[in-house]
Structure 1
Amino acid sequence: MQSESGDGDLDGLDLQLIDHLQIDGRIPYVELARRLEVTEKTVRRRVSRLIDQGYVTIAAVTDPSLLGFGSMALALVTVDGSRSPVELADELAQLPETDYVTVTTGPFAVQVELICTDPRELHDVAFGKIRTTPGVAAVELLPYLRLHYQQARFSGVRGDRDGVRPRQLDETDRAIISRLAVDGRAAFRDFAAALGVSETTIRFRYTRLVESGAVRVMCIVNPLRLGYRWSSWVTIRVDGHGSARDVAEALTGLQPVSYVALTSGRWDVLAEVVTDSGEALLSVLDDDIRAIEGVAALESWSYIALHYKAVRPRRTDGLAGHDNDIQIV
């Protein structure tokens, strides 16, 4: 089934702005105005509306472990029929430990991506908070052994360096990423002094981080809003002669694949595939993914609805860190 969500509230200028901001979320507004042949005032007003009305977030996309989250998993939720999956997803999206909640076809009506500090917190959220939520019949976890690849750009032709992968970074690099995860367009001069380095150093390090694939500051948008209404989770089981790491790496070469994780549990690899039609999804599954050496079996669950939040640095003051980031779309 395809989602009822779409891009009807976005006009041509909005879509062009999103496309440019997905390439570079820090592009100056004056440059955006020049490229789109509109006034800078128009660009600022349009981008502010897109952010304020929950269409987009401009933030750093990076390995969540750099922001203090050491354990991740996809919680597969079986519902008991007493509540609609959409209503249940609305509630689960309010949990501070969730960053991505999907309602899909398939055996699990709701999937909840959890981002936690350690395995104990992950277990407590899944089987304490989620399992006891009215409407939930059962919860199964797919813990991430590695978040292998993230590609948050959907529109346009992607470049070889668009994706984000885990990297070993020093404390200054981590601090820069943490600031940009809160506000992707924050001025470097505003936090250079706080980090004890010069603005020139911040700029140099940021450029190096982007070139290495450790981070991208970009416009994060729900793919359903852009017309990719047949987006889907795809779970893959690897055969006895294959390597889960090799399968995961092969997936990163497919343009419709936006997310890849190596998992433990009943599946070995988890991927997100972003497509605009059933035929396109079928082509990716049959012609591309099934053809990868080592793939023994797969399942796909197409999105009906999606809630997301930007991943912000882990708060240490005991307060819920993501409540202001919830994007209900």
Structure 2
Amino acid sequence: MEILDLQLVHALYVDGRASFRRIAGVLDVSEQTVARRYRRLRETGAVRVVGRLDSRYLGHVEEWVMRLRCAPRATLPVAQALARRSDAYRIRLASGGTEIVCHIQTPDQRARDKFLLDELPATRQVTSIAAHQVLRLFRGGTAAWHAPISSLTPEQVARLTPPPSDPEPFDLDDGDRLLLSELAHDGRMHHAALSASTGWHESTVRRRIARLRASGALYFGVDFDEHLLGYSSHTILWISVNPAALDAAGTALARHPQIAYAAATTGPTNLMATAFCTGSDTLYDFITGHVGSLPGIQTIQTAPVLRIVKRAALT
């Protein structure tokens, strides 16, 4: 991957809605060059900016990680059915294709119980279910750059970084939800197009997006083919940690650039993470060296990911 493309993707990780003019100024290239490069990456499916709703700021959403074992040949159809749900995301086929790992967000206890107690058990192809509630997020949510190399300087990152938000729970109205649904498909949709789809004036669209971002409820992530960053190994880690050391272990794990997601969960393993490495040798070194030396580590399970069925969701 060319360095300019890598810099562009890194810039989008910092601020997915930064204007091409602003990015061009930081990268010291023309605005037309940035726009052309982005269109090529977007059209080939290599990169996509999406608006994501951080439901922690709504104050009433639980996040769960599901591990589903399925009957032979049923894994992909079940994963595809899950992908059609608006509350399911990060749906991956792991462990040789016999296991589905997915995240769900439930707005209330009733929705949670319906999914966990009624809908999943009624799916005959699902042979076993393990549900882990996310208790503490160490890394994830807002996009985190985890390429093998840092393509932007700290000064460039600072120039692109949006101002800090002031998180405060609030209730979304129907207009906000319509706007969010459009941004979930294309986080860089022009204000004019958003105006046409919502029926609002462009100034209203700008103000609403600014309000949602300032609250911390809305952020812009990047769906990107990690293989283009040099990664060939995508692995889910299920780690058991001494409870007294869980916070220290999770915080330390999240500092590693190989980690894209890390969270404390309920269940027999209490620390779950997603790791990207450049090959099996580097994965081995990462697990035995960095992960194995974390405080309080008792056991580590690894589940190689074979396919990503769905990445983001905006509920």
Shorter-chain TM-score range: 0.7 to 0.9
What SS does the aligned partner of 1:287 have? helix
Deviation at 1:133, TM superposition (A): 3.5
Correspondence 1:269 to 2:261: no
Contact 1:239 1:295 (C-alpha < 8 Å) held by counterparts: yes
- Residues 167, 299 of structure 1: alpha-carbon distance in 2 compared, 3 angstrom cutoff: farther
| Structure 1: gaps spanning 5 or more residues | 1-9, 315-329
Aligned with 1:20 (options 2, 11, 15): 11
SS of the residue aligned with 1:231? strand
Q: 1:153 aligns with which of 129, 145, 148?
A: 145
5+ long unaligned stretches in structure 2 = none
Please tell me whether residue 132 in structure 1 is matched to residue 122 in structure 2: yes
1:78 aligns to what? 69
The C-alpha deviation readout for 1:250-293, integer Å capped at 9, x for no partner, is 21221211111111111111111121211221122111111111
**CA distance in structure 2 between the aligned counterparts of 1:88 and 1:138, rounded to whole angstroms:** 13
CA distance in structure 2 between the partners assigned to 1:107 and 1:200 by the alignment: 45
Aligned with 1:249 (options 228, 248, 251): 251
Contact 1:146–1:262 (8 Å) recurs in 2: yes
Higher helix share: 2
TM-aligned CA deviation for residue 73 of structure 1: 0.9
Q: 1:117 aligns with which of 107, 127, 150?
A: 107
Paired AA for residue 290 in structure 1: G
What TM-score, normalized by structure 2, do the two folds share? 0.73
Which of 235, 238, 251 is the equivalent residue of 1:235? Answer: 238
Alignment of 1:1-329 (within 5 A): 14-33=5-24, 35=27, 37=29, 40=32, 43-48=34-39, 50-51=41-42, 54-60=45-51, 63-66=54-57, 70-81=61-72, 83=73, 85-105=75-95, 109-150=99-140, 151-155=143-147, 156-157=149-150, 168-169=167-168, 171=170, 183=183, 184-185=187-188, 216-224=219-227, 226-239=229-242, 242-312=244-314, 314=315
Q: Could you tell me which amino acid in structure 1 is paired with residue 135 of structure 2?
A: L
- Distance (Å, rounded) in 1 between the aligned partners of 2:266 and 2:22: 45
With 86-95 and 166-175 compared, the bigger mean Cα shift is at: 166-175
In the alignment of these two chains, the number of paired residues is 294
Give the aligned CA root-mean-square deviation in angstroms: 4.2
Q: TM-score, normalised by structure 1?
A: 0.70
Q: How far, CA to CA, are the matches of 1:28 and 1:110 in structure 2?
A: 37
**Where does structure 1 differ by over 6 angstroms across 4 or more consecutive aligned residues?**
158-162, 172-175, 186-191, 196-205
